[in-house]
Structure formats: C-alpha cells, structure tokens
Amino acid sequence: MSETRYTDQHEWISLEGDEATVGITRFATEQLGDVVFVDVPEVGKSFAKGAEAAVVESVKAASEVYAPVAGTVTAGNYALGDDPSLVNADPEGAGWFFKLKLANKAEFDALMTKESYQEFAKGH
C-alpha cells in the first residue's frame, strides 16, 4: 500500500517501502501548459532535500523539479524524453519523473497530505 504526499513546489511523492516515485501535480501541469521537454536525473545520483533534480519545460517556460526528500535515484522515466506530453495526459501516473531511495523517512512524513495540499493549491 503506497502513501502519497505533496510539496509546496507542486510535486507529488508516493512511497512504497523505502522507494518513492516523484512527479508534478495536475495543478502544476495546468499552470505550466503543454509540456514539451523533460530532463530526468540519471540512476545513482544523490540529492539533498530541495535540490534541483529534474527540469520540465512547457511551451511557455522552463521550471525546475526539486527533490522533495533526500535520496538516491533508482529509476528515471526516460519515456518522457520521447513523449513529454505524458506529463499533461497523466501527471500522477504515466507522467512520473523519477524514483528515489529515501535517506530519511521523517522528511516524507513532514510533507503535506492530499487534503492540506488541495487547500494550499487553492490559494495559488
């Protein structure tokens, strides 16, 4: 059973065991518009919490995707390289960005729940 949390940078992170999948929320894709390019990190890269981990570009602008928690990359969604539109079509499914092995689960627990994120996104 996976558990999902959200960041104030409009990322979602879904945890199963000690591996988490990271992507951007539907709200983020609606703000960005049509995604045309995604740069996902290579397997084995380590990130501190809040480090720049991936790049997403829409027709309008480039945005950074930050590591919501510290960890080491275990997989990247390289399919997005050929078909970045997956991010718009299914942001919280097939449009995932990368998977991380968590360094510290407490960082995950401290992130927003779905309910608090929905409240947060309303104010934006």
| Residue closest to 83 by CA, chosen among 37, 120, 42 | 37
For other proteins, which residue of 4, 14, 36, 70 counts as binding (CB under 8 A)? 36
For other proteins, which residue of 9, 50, 57, 103 counts as binding (CB under 8 A)? 57
Q: Does residue 90 belong to the site contacting other proteins (CB under 8 A)?
A: no
For other proteins, which residue of 23, 41, 68, 84 counts as binding (CB under 8 A)? 84
Q: Does residue 103 belong to the site contacting other proteins (CB under 8 A)?
A: no
DSSP-H helix ranges across the chain: 26-32, 79-82, 86-89, 105-109, 114-122
Which residues contribute to the site for other proteins (CB under 8 A)? 33-34, 36-37, 39, 55, 57-62, 81, 84
